[in-house]
Homo-oligomer: A and B are copies of this chain.
Amino acid sequence: MTEKSLTESQAREASRANTALKLERQLCFALYSASSLFTRLYRPLLEPLGLTYPQYLVMLVLWERSPLTVSEIGAALGLDSATLTPLLKRLEAAGYVTRRRDATDERRVLVQPTERGVELKEQAKDVQKELLCRLPLPASELTALHETLGRLNRGMRNAGETES
């Protein structure tokens, strides 16, 4: 390799790398903003139900299957007991869930929607309908986004487990 070709090659290589790094920086902003804005879109609609966005996510999990232990909810959302315990206590205080020790294993706490918590599911559907109207993308794009995020998330979960 001559001096010149080496320099050119290095320049091309550096340029490609810089493009990739720039894309990644843009992705930082895009992902952070998307998550914040999505939450912000939900907040005023959830407020009348007395739910914050993380509380809503927990209720979504519990509406699918219950009772669940704190750890099971945590596995579904990627949260630990330090975050969930106080959140669940607030949901309990609001009358939306019950928390009780599992009789067969006293270490576990079983969480389950109350009757009021189950009723909330129907009101939440109206919120979801309203939000869908406000989302500016066609369903096809939302599906594509969901799939891409799914691949990304699976990969990131692996990267997290496999790390040194």
Contacts and interface: CB of A to CB of B under 8 A. Distances in A.
Nearest to A25: B60
A44 interface: yes
Interface of A: 17, 20-21, 23-38, 40-42, 44, 56-57, 60, 76-78, 125, 128-129, 131-132, 134-137, 139, 141-146, 148-160, 163
Contacts of A17: 129
Given A34-B35, A41-B159, 15 more contacts: A17-B129, A21-B128, A27-B145, A27-B149, A28-B60, A30-B146, A30-B153, A32-B77, A37-B78, A37-B157, A40-B160, A134-B156, A135-B159, A145-B145, A145-B148
Which 7 pairs across A and B sit closest by C-beta, in order of nearness?
A: A136-B155, A35-B35, A30-B149, A37-B156, A134-B159, A21-B128, A34-B149
B148 A136 contact: no
Number of copies: 2
B143 A23 contact: yes
Nearest to A17: B129
B23 A146 contact: yes
B159 A136 contact: yes
A24 B56 CA distance: 13
A109 to B, nearest CB: 22
